[in-house]
Structure 1
């Protein structure tokens, strides 16, 4: 008789569910169709410990499972099958999971658990292979199959399978290590073991915790192999918000072996300790209170950094470590805590990544110190010169003084940052880093103001109508607003460590922006953005003036105006423009040029103003005869430049 479509559909769905639940290729799965009579039927079983054989047989009234294959389960009984079948045949499957000592018979879409899980078995009977089969004339098993592969299509009275006694845990770990989702397999089988407390495997040690009504959170130290020192075992804090049902289980697994987690980027190294957390039948993320995992490890080299990462096996079959979802808290050099707001089948670990190093740091530091000292003296001389100057437009002198003052404080802050950083005072270093960043932004803003102001004078040959407070706002106010905004975000400024080289253990300390994601983002948006404005505006203005001068007769005698724009462009674009190209292959040579030119920035300012004054004096001395009046007018106009 043929099966109804409804029965077939139910059978297919149930088989798929069992494939998902018991889905690893070590599960024994024998299926077929039991051809029986129309009288009452029963399921008979007689199971004993050992590893002799298992017989699956059927006749007119009885489907029988008997043999010696279990580790601890001893069961013998008969189940009356109440419902009368609509036809004289019933589909069935026998599932055997030796690691769990679990045996289930599925008959007409209904599950009959003959042996329930009783922990993970050390020694078990597995690798069942067919030994013999007996034929029957009318009643028995039709279309018998193993793992979906048909053995016989005709009616068979009995199938007999023999197994081998093996170390079940070891074999399971060997198979899990070969699978990309091996960690997930381990957590699933521990969850199905029907045990609470400690569960040991050669490849992992787990703790199964039952979260009952009134669960208020729990701190625990994970189980670990005997060879691990007690003070090096990770600890976990589970918040109360993990429990979403009346009763649920959470599995905390400790992996001392990284074999299951090989893969991902080749430029990172995983620490030996890895922790996996999963909750029974739950996908948990965006927790209001984070799960905290604390790792204990040996002190890391100074040129290594620590980051907590996670791998969600629901999203990636292969190993793919992610930084999102976990925050790294560095307790001290031997202890790191990971605070994570998501929880499912994933591992949490500490990532070790080499920091960027700076070669020839000692030479670069010496060059910068000498250049900053020369710039400080040059800025003082130039500021005194500008204050004593009686000629020129008021706005122009204001802009010149603003650039000099900003450059002076930038060199002063940079000269003090290393000495203050060595004190180790976090508050002082945070203040110093803030001042250094502010003086750098102020210098870039005043350079941009001078670039546009000079260009305006050259093009219009007249004084700007802008009030003086606009220049102060652009040079000092805008940087103050940006720095205050960064201070409100927090964790931007502080002690920064720089490695001289990969082989050198001595560190260079400075008070600057921290090596964090927020600080790097602020650096690229603000500093690199202002550098791009200074460099691009200088190039555009130089190009504009150079193309307009040959076409305008009134400018042909005004050599000083072009020289001023050309000097500003070379000074600003060459010095700060190198900062935009420090990532090119010639980075070391670029770094030396950048340090030399920028540390001597104040000296170049002094030389530029001195050259312009010399040109003005020569212009005045050359004024004689009838042309004296026009030349003097030109010189006076050029004084604003």
Structure 2
């Protein structure tokens, strides 16, 4: 009893130390929110981001919201995005939140219910830009940012044209190790996001049989020899992302595996491989009535939002805890899991209406029953399509 109590006290002390070390040394993440007070002109998002750590400037005027700065480790982004493509109209003020995660080199903007990725998740390397502290403000203006908040703390309720944030370099490798230790402890009690992605380089030289990689707690990756002639360089980069919620954005009706694998060969575009790459995902047991689909996100076609598609990938089920993806291109990959609970609910609905029909002469019952049967047919068609594709190893 005393030994267990001592172990519990030691764990609590470790937890407190990890919390204090993480909070005292580096204020890692920036969350800057506010309301964009704009005019009635078409709205746009201006992006000017490059590597460095001098800081970031967030400003707004009558027609544009701007994010300008040098805070990233790898990401560079210079663009103007018309916001009407996301259904944002100029009649009302627009709430927004800017999220910076330096250990992932990830910058996202939430505005009008949409999540726009300004810098996609990556492994930042040895150095990253943390401790983005609030600097000077621009003057008050008719159009700009009102009710600005930093991590829910109100800065001012006045309309200000822009805000400056200053950063400083930090040792990302050391911070990742500290945060992983902290997350590992917290994950005993809740499903916490891991703070860092892990990147590995795979040598493609002189390997006629292809190259493979596997590390502890990561999916197995095989890169065929066809990739080497298509590439001008001799190394492939494999980045493993785990429990990053940005990949789940917009997919509330389905579930993604915790693991996302990114495969790149510098800035080269490699697709249409006759011999596909192979990624073997190990995961918790998935029931047979939950269809699995290998999907990929093409950041060239959809750079601003995660859009998972099954094009170019084939799904093979190797067991309840193993899924194999064969894909003919290089990008981000994961497995989408679709629950078939709707089929069960619809069958129960049909039984309910059939039983009620025997007891009631109400005219609406046949109509409701017909709708339920139609819904069941569609659900069963979708379900069996997924099951047959999984069992037969067909592309879905």
**TM over 0.5, yes or no?**
no
Q: Give the TM-score normalised by the residue count of structure 1.
A: 0.28
Question: Which structure: greater helix fraction?
Answer: 1
Q: Give the TM-score normalised by the residue count of structure 2.
A: 0.44
Structure with higher RCO (Cα < 8 A, 6+ apart): 2
Bigger Rg over Cα: 1
